[in-house]
Amino acid sequence: MINNNLKICKCGYKINDPHIVAKTNYSSWGWFLFTILGMSAKPISIDFICTVCGDKLESSTDQETLKRFIGR
């Protein structure tokens, strides 16, 4: 679960705001599966970043959250 009340960036956006994007990070093996073999690899972590100010609101390694971003 993402705690939506947790953090606000410099410009006042929260994680569910459209200005906040989720950037997925893959391990080199996950990247290989995903890019070379076209398999859906699960990211190892997800950063929630504001596209306006560049603040990183949160870095999530929560398994349930990661599952929602498989293949992104």
- Site size with Zn ion, rule: CB under 5 A: 6
Burial class of 13 by CB neighbour count within 10 A (0 to 12, 13 to 18, 19+): buried
Residue nearer to Zn ion on the CB measure, 31 or 55: 55
Task: Quote the least distance from Cβ 13 to Zn ion, whole Å.
Answer: 5
Among the listed ranges 27-35, 37-45, 50-58, 64-72, the one in contact with Zn ion (CB under 5 A) is 50-58
Edge-to-edge strand order for the sheet containing 45-50? 20-25, 45-50, 56-60
Residues 1-20 within binding reach of Zn ion (CB under 5 A): 9-11
Instruction: List the structure tokens of 15.
Output: 């994680």
